[in-house]
Each structure stands twice: as C-alpha cells, then as structure tokens.
Amino acid sequence: MDVSIVGSGYVGTTVAACLADLGHDVVNVDIDESVVAALNAGESPIHEPGLSDLVALYGGDRLRATTDYSAIAGTDLTMLALPTPSEADGSINLSAMAAGARSVGEAIAAKDGYHLVVVKSTVVPGTTEEELVPILEEATDRTEGEDLGVAVNPEFLREGSAVDDFTNPDKIVVGTDGDERALNRLADIYEPIVMEWEVPVVETGRREAEMIKYANNAFLAAKVSLINDIGNVCKEYGVDAYEVAEAIGLDHRIGERFLRSGVGWGGSCFRKDVDAIRAAAREAGYEPTMLDAAVEVNERQPDRLLGLLDDLVDVAGRRVAVLGLAFKPGTDDIRNSRAIPVIEGLRERGAEVVAYDPVAIEEMRERFPDIEYAESGAAALSDTHGAVVVTDWDEFATLDEEFEAMADPVVVDGRRVVEDRGSIVYEGLTW
Ligand code: UGA
C-alpha cells in the first residue's frame, strides 16, 4: 500500500520504517527540513535499536520524506503521528494536530476516491469525532463516509524496543465504529504482522480506541505506583518487597511484569497521559482518585530515597554521587526522569552533586549545567560520602570495589541493582 505519515517523531519514524519493512511504500511528511533530509539520506533522526538499519535500508527508496503535504494525494491512507503536548493543567494541546489535519484535508481534496485518515497520536476520548473529523470534512469538502474515512489506531511502543514492539505487538487496536472500508484498509496494512504472530486485533469504536491508549498507560503507571506503595510499607516492616512481588506475580490475575518497586516511573508518556486523562475526568465532573494517587506516590518516591540517605549521612557540603540520569536504561531520554527531583533534593540539602550516566550526561547537563559530571561510575564515586542509584543500568551492579573505596561507603539503591553489598552501608528503597 501507499502510506503517508505526518510527523517524524519517535512514533512516526518507527512506524514509517517498519511499514516500509513490511513492503509498503511510505512517505513521511514533516515540517523539519533536517529530519526530511536525514530520512531521505537513510539516516534515522532518532535513536532506537534496529531503526537505523531499517532507515538505512529503505530511506530515499521505499521510505521517502518531504515537507510537502501534497504528497499525501498519491497515497491510500494517512497516519497522523503528531505530538499532543501537555498544557499547564494536564490537558492536551491540540494545535499541532488541528493544523496537521487541516493540511492533510487540503491535500486529500486534490485526490479522487476514498482516503483513510488514521489518528496514531494520543488524544482524549471524543477528540477525533468532535475536533478532527470536522476539520477534515471542511478541508476535504467531503462528508465522512463519502470517500473520507477517519480511524483511531494507537501505538503501544516502548522507548528502546519500539521496532520490536511494532513488529511483534501484544495487540493491534483499530477504532473505526464499524466502518468496513477503514477496517479493510487497516487489515491490509497490518496483515503480515497479524498473520505471522497471530496478534489479536481489537476492533472497536473510536472513543474506545482513544481511551484504550490512556487506560493502558495509566494502568501500567498505577501498577508501578501500587507496588511502590506496598514496597514502602514493606520497608517499614523490614520485608523485602521483591520477594513479595515475585510471589504475588505468580498469581496470573496480577502478572509478574511491572512489579519492580523503587524510585518511580519517568519518561515522556506516563505522566503526560495520566495527567491528560485526570484532566479529562475532572472536566467531565469525575474525581479520579486512583489516578491522582498513582502520581502522588510517584512524586514521593525520590523524597523517600533521599530520606533514607539523610538517615545515614549528613550530605550538606559533601560530595554525593547520583548514578543514572536516564528515565530508564537503554535510552538517553531524561524527560521526567526521577534523577531530576533527586538532584534537586540533594542540592537543596547543600550537597555537591557528581552525576554519571552511560549515555544521558549531555541531556542532563542542559537541565543542570552547574553540577559535576563524571566519565564513569568509578570516577563519580571517588571521594564521595554517599551515592544514590536512580537508573537500573547493568553496569551499576558490578561497582562493588568502587563503592568500598568511597570516602563514606554509603549507598542508597533506588532500583535494586547493586548485587555485592559486602562491606558497604547499603539501603534499598523498598527492601
Ligand atoms: C510506555 C509504555 O510502556 C508503552 O507501552 C507506551 O507506548 C509508551 O509509554 C508511550 O505511551 O509512548 P516507555 O515510556 O518507553 O513506554 O517506558 P516503560 O518501559 O513503560 O517504563 C516507564 C517507566 O516505568 C520507567 O521509568 C521505568 O523505570 C519505570 N518502571 C517500569 C518501574 O519503575 N518499574 C517497573 O516494574 C517497570
């Protein structure tokens, strides 16, 4: 199929490259000329395992990029993968989506025959029907159902495994409200994946599809917050939360994944999406108690980590190492990383922070230009009176000699990565 994708961010680029790999002809439309040039030259504008290989293989060929929306007229369907950033109150800002939908509509107007627009971006229930369809209808001068289809097809890609998640997903969600033409076109797009992996396809309404994306992320965020809450209770009673998690995870109704307690969740999606659905709930007159609590527990975990350190060492005027700056291992993304409140808390206490991460130092330097950054875990620990582990990078597991050589070998682990706790003073956040 001929597919156009508007937006070359993390979702747009991954989906474009993977669809090219499935045999489709893909054109990516983006306003950023440098991104367009990179894609056409076979260079991935974002870092994701496996993505550079796909872009190198198909870029400029089966995967093309342009700043010109008129390219959409030569395609069978258009995916909207534009950002929906948060407003101050947590609600989503739709301006990029609205402008994108208008430009897509104008391009479709120049084409004869049916065209399907697929919303991939994360939008609150009702957005497609109430905000995007009217824009598309006006710009195309068509009524939905008459040569214009609009579907919702959210993505569940994780940073660091986006290509694998796309090619072998747990599910594919298509919200069409039963529109046969839209369903058929989406079935054609995903057929190779569905056939190879026997992936369940959830055919549902557009509002439901929009909500499923939020519910998915909110549930995962809340699951981690619940195990963190339980983990905090465990800590008070001298119980190892990881032993508890392993046992409860054997109950199939609970499941073993996403039960790693610690300093909390970060990243660009969980907080944004939980905030958006909380704001949408309030707008509808409902108080989302559990979702509020998921955020509150998450905000408190860095304080609990620092509280444990306070009990062991007075950090004022002393060097303290922060190990891990990325929001999770395998990425240089620091958005909403728990390292940010940890560094802020240490600075409030008057500590001299020395931070280390295998890949995310430059990103954190923009956020905190005047703390010290070390070139290795060993260098970060040298001459320090305390260390906190914030990201579960494997390399922190084997720093035992370096921990022992600290001025005060006091380590508070927020991710349960330190294995050899030999002669150091060691505290785990929930164990
Ligand atoms: C998340 C979802 O997992 C994806 O399905 C979704 O598509 C994506 O958001 C999105 O909406 O774009 P991602 O933000 O890449 O993906 O990261 P995750 O791997 O889910 O981890 C999120 C955070 O939870 C990390 O900070 C991680 O350290 C933390 N976490 C995860 C825990 O603290 N404990 C766990 O047991 C699992």
So what's the pLDDT on residue 158? 96
pLDDT digits (tens, 9 = 90+) for 318-369: 999 999 999 999 999 999 999 999 999 999 999 999 999 999 999 999 999 9
Mean pLDDT in residue range 174-184: 96
E strands, 153-294, in order: 172-175, 201-204
The answer on pLDDT for 195 being more than 90 is no
CA of 382 to the centre of ligand 1 (A): 32
Task: Tell me the C-alpha distance between 369 and 366, whole Å.
Answer: 6
Q: Whose CA is nearest to atom 18 of ligand 1?
A: 158
Q: Dihedrals φ, ψ of 372, to 5°?
A: -90, 140
Q: Which two tokens stand for residue 397?
A: 């597991």
Residues 6+ apart with CB under 8 A from 395: 358, 377
So what's the pLDDT on residue 24? 97
CA of 55 to the centre of ligand 1 (A): 25
Task: Tell me the C-alpha distance between 111 and 141, whole Å.
Answer: 11
- The DSSP letter of residue 48 is -
Residue 114: exposed, middle, or buried by beta-carbon count in 10 A (0-12, 13-18, 19+)?
middle
Q: Report the catalytic residues.
A: 269
Task: Tell me the C-alpha distance between 395 and 375, whole Å.
Answer: 13
Mean pLDDT in residue range 135-147: 96
Q: Whose CA is nearest to atom 28 of ligand 1?
A: 328
The answer on pLDDT for 173 being more than 90 is yes
Ligand 1 interacting residues, C-beta cut-off 6 A: 155-159, 217, 220, 224, 258-260, 262, 265-267, 269-270, 327-328
Percent of residues, the chain, with pLDDT higher than 70? 100
pLDDT digits (tens, 9 = 90+) for 245-304: 999 999 999 999 999 999 999 999 999 999 999 999 999 999 999 999 999 999 999 999
0.85 exceeded by pTM: yes
First-last CA distance in the chain: 53
Q: Which atom of ligand 1 is nearest to the CA of 338?
A: 26
DSSP 265-298: --SSSHHHHHHHHHHHHHHTT---HHHHHHHHHH
Q: Whose CA is nearest to atom 25 of ligand 1?
A: 265
Look at the alpha carbons of 170, 175, 180, 184 in this order and tell me if their dihedral is positive or negative: negative
Are 371 and 345 in contact, with CB atoms under 8 Å apart?
Answer: no
Q: Which atom of ligand 1 is nearest to the CA of 161?
A: 15
Q: Whose CA is nearest to atom 7 of ligand 1?
A: 156
- The DSSP letter of residue 188 is H
To which H or E segment does residue 243 belong? helix 241-249
Are 171 and 201 in contact, with CB atoms under 8 Å apart?
Answer: yes
Mean pLDDT in residue range 112-131: 98
Residue 276: exposed, middle, or buried by beta-carbon count in 10 A (0-12, 13-18, 19+)?
buried
User: Radius of gyration (Cα) for the chain, nearest Å?
Assistant: 24
CA of 327 to the centre of ligand 1 (A): 9
Task: Tell me the C-alpha distance between 26 and 62, whole Å.
Answer: 6
Mutate to test the pocket of ligand 1, among 11, 84, 157, 158 (most ligand atoms within 8 A of CB): 158
CA of 2 to the centre of ligand 1 (A): 32
Q: Which atom of ligand 1 is nearest to the CA of 263?
A: 33
pLDDT digits (tens, 9 = 90+) for 217-256: 999 999 999 999 999 999 999 999 999 999 999 999 999 9
Q: Which two tokens stand for residue 103?
A: 């430009």
Task: Tell me the C-alpha distance between 282 and 58, whole Å.
Answer: 45
So what's the pLDDT on residue 410? 97
Residue of higher predicted confidence among 47 and 171 = 171
CA of 372 to the centre of ligand 1 (A): 28
pLDDT digits (tens, 9 = 90+) for 15-71: 999 999 999 999 999 999 999 999 999 999 988 999 999 999 999 999 999 999 999
Q: Which atom of ligand 1 is nearest to the CA of 160?
A: 15
Q: Which two tokens stand for residue 197?
A: 């992996």
